[in-house]
Chains A and B, each alone.
Chain A
């Protein structure tokens, strides 16, 4: 490979080739399990344990997982789990947005006494061992009848969604020049109008990123539905692990199909709005 050296441009040195090989090696490692999940999900019952890479693919498993037959086979009602995941996580994100946006705005705009404390409390939720809260909540929930309900799940998922939304949005509000709102106020807007007509549209990308990111993390959450729900409000993550189940026959292909369905919303979001998610992640962490 005869490459002409141009000044100021990087060449194909041994080091660069080695670096590319190293990157490829990482991504083989990182992507293989996802590929494997896809392959396994496409195998039929007979081939699920007898073949590795060569097999006759079928889409049957996805239908089975979502149908009554799948429920009969594995005693997991996956359809209801999906519905519950959507309700729990959607509800949790909505509540967090309604409550978190004003708080994030207050913390980003005003330096008020206790604002840092509030923010620190928010962040410390992220680091608190979940079970410290779940064990008492388990007792409380069973006493007041919130156990295994959507409302109970939305409430406890605030622990996941709220800190993320408040922390990400606070940095967006901080970065927004105050002049814009001041100008709106001078133009005769009320405070509220200046907020809804000027500030809010400007941070819309931030709101979208924070909402979707927190939706993904709520969707992916496992301990809360594992302990605080049983069958009625149980979610996708809990259902998938039940496929692996202890006794009886193991349905590897059904497990993989369920796992793929459960991983689909985050994967689709990650591939389409990856830039915003990365930004949200780094905003939430680095600036905090």
Chain B
């Protein structure tokens, strides 16, 4: 179908076609459509997407509504109990244990992934022979399903037959015990998602203008100075985007932790989403599960708002730094 575009190929960036400089906004172009229809067009194009948005928004609102009901599988005709669920959940030490696990997991995983991801991106950006080979496979852990990744890791963690204990000579070290399960879950998260940070940051580094670096190279600035004063401030927005994506995702981590430990042993890895799963799907207490989720959603929303604010500031500062 490329014949249709041959006339005005994307290679030529100049004004396309014979219409001249004033051609782009000429009125009375061949398709005679009223102004009204023209204004409506974008809305019409978006209608199907909107329907889907509403189709998803409806259960979402319903979920919020569940949190003020006493809806369980054994109580199919619920009535409104207002904030009773919230009161009972907020008084429950299990809930706070979940908050703690979620917070530790999210902060630790995000910090480790960001630092490692930035370092890997910087190393790959040096474009050595070794880096060129490996860049092609950088994305692999990210593309494998988290569930599959967790399955492989669970096999490797196995105390008796697992390859990790064999290679490191750890005997029958239990990677998923009460004390180690959370750290092991973070390790698996780091394995899966560090490439995500590295890819974003690498794309960011490569889009930076060259001139400031060349100028300060001529001035004889050291590597560390250039990194701190030039690269880091200019890269900061990209790093922050990665941090936002990772932190938000970590707050609602489920798949790989669920496969590794199903939230155990005890409450050791029971994140908020796993807690909600237990309450609403296993114990069929839909209202309680929804309350968990509503509280998590508030947490996600507040942190998202805060982080996006930080991002905006960083973007403005980076724009200033580039000029």
Contact = CB atoms under 8 A, between A and B. Distances in A.
A267 B144 contact: yes
Interface string A273-288: 0100110011001100
B199 to A, nearest CB: 6
- Contact-residue bracket for chain A: 35 or more
Contacts of A129: 251-252, 272-273, 276, 293, 296-297, 300
Nearest to A37: B152
Contacts of B276: 129, 131, 135
Secondary structure dominating the interface of A: helix
B161 A49 contact: yes
B152 A259 contact: yes
A162 B52 contact: yes
A189 interface: yes
B319 interface: no
Contact of B23 (A182, A237, A263): A182
B156 A36 contact: yes
Interface string B26-67: 100111010000010111011011101101110110111010
Given A105-B45, A183-B8, A99 B52 contact: yes
Contact of B153 (A33, A128, A240): A33
B277 to A, nearest CB: 6
Centre residue among B128, B144, B241 by max chain A CB count within 10 A: B144
A220 B137 contact: no
A36 to B, nearest CB: 6
B238 to A, nearest CB: 6
Interface stretch (B9-17, B79-87, B168-176, B225-233): B9-17
Contacts of B50: 103, 118
Contact of B56 (A37, A118, A133, A286): A133
Given A190-B30, A191-B33, A131 B4 contact: no
Nearest to A96: B52
A86 interface: no
Given A109-B42, A131-B277, A270-B140, A166 B59 contact: no
A118 B49 contact: yes
Nearest to B14: A179
A189 B123 CA distance: 50
Secondary structure dominating the interface of B: helix
Contact of A237 (B17, B145, B203, B245): B145
Interface stretch (A55-63, A70-78, A195-203): A195-203
Contacts of A256: 152, 155
Nearest to A125: B56
Given A52-B166, A131-B293, A286-B241, A262 B123 contact: no
B105 interface: no
B16 A183 contact: yes
Given A52-B166, A256-B152, 14 more contacts: A30-B194, A33-B141, A33-B149, A129-B297, A131-B254, A132-B290, A133-B56, A158-B56, A179-B17, A185-B29, A186-B19, A201-B5, A223-B255, A274-B139
12 contacts: A24-B130, A34-B140, A102-B45, A112-B42, A122-B49, A133-B63, A136-B62, A162-B49, A182-B23, A222-B147, A222-B255, A285-B242
Interface of A: 10, 16, 19-20, 22-24, 26-27, 29-31, 33-34, 36-37, 40, 48-49, 52, 98-100, 102-103, 105-107, 109-110, 112, 114-115, 118, 121-122, 125-133, 135-140, 155, 158-159, 162, 166, 176-180, 182-191, 197-198, 201-202, 216, 219-223, 227, 237, 240-241, 243-244, 252, 255-256, 259, 262-263, 266-267, 269-271, 274, 277-278, 281-282, 285-286
Interface of B: 1-2, 4-5, 7-8, 10, 13, 15-17, 19, 23-24, 26, 29-31, 33, 39, 41-43, 45-46, 48-50, 52-53, 55-57, 59-60, 62-64, 66, 116, 119-120, 123-124, 126, 128, 130-131, 134, 136-141, 143-149, 151-156, 158, 160-161, 163, 166-167, 191, 194-196, 199-200, 203-204, 238, 241-242, 245, 248-249, 251-252, 254-255, 258-259, 272-273, 276-277, 280-281, 286, 289-290, 292-294, 296-297, 300, 304
